[in-house]
Amino acid sequence: MSVYKTCSDHELAALLTEGNGDAFAEIYNRYWALLYRHALRMTKDDELAKDVVQDVFVSLWDKANEIQCSFSLTSYLYSAVRNKVLNLYHKKKVRTNYLASLGEFIKDGENLTDHLLRERMLSVKIEQEISLLPKKMREVFEMSRKANMSYKEIAGDLNISDKTVKKQVSNAIKILRLKLGTLMFIIILLLN
């Protein structure tokens, strides 16, 4: 029988602060099973509970010379286990939130990038087709769609009739619809 088995917690803590390995071994043997059950109740995970208790004892040994003898060893160990478990849950929650946030960013970023790329490609194609319209028709169409001018305003600026403006815009739309397809044409109208 080890002489340390008869020591009180206070005596073991005092010996531990002096770096006494046998005192540490007694503390470990005395409290490991109790702390494990405590950790298991909190984590509901056998391996995690073992890891928590192991980390608490490693920390206890690493900080042995910093320990104050005025505390209750039992309270200290139970608090250390509780804090370790809470820290693990906090880290897990932070990690889960971070991963979820990262996943959303990647998903939204891909969608945004794809959308912007498609929009840019569509815009280039539309501009190419508009530039191929006859000069007067293109001018009337751009004033109508890009400058948002009314037929009457365009007619006044170009010294032509409202009916001519309407006919030019109508012809431009027909040409673009044929070249770009119905779906792309709907998108053109929505973008302007």
**Per-residue pLDDT, 63:** 85
- pLDDT band of residue 89 (cuts 50, 70, 90) is confident
Report the alpha-carbon distance of residue 150 to residue 138 in Å, rounded: 15
Q: Which domains does the chain have, with CATH numbers?
A: 3-98 (1.10.1740.10), 132-191 (1.10.10)
Average pLDDT over all residues of the chain: 80
User: What 8-state DSSP symbol labels residue 37?
Assistant: H
pLDDT tens per residue across span 34-64: 999 988 888 888 888 899 899 999 988 988 8
**Per-residue pLDDT, 19:** 86
**Per-residue pLDDT, 103:** 66
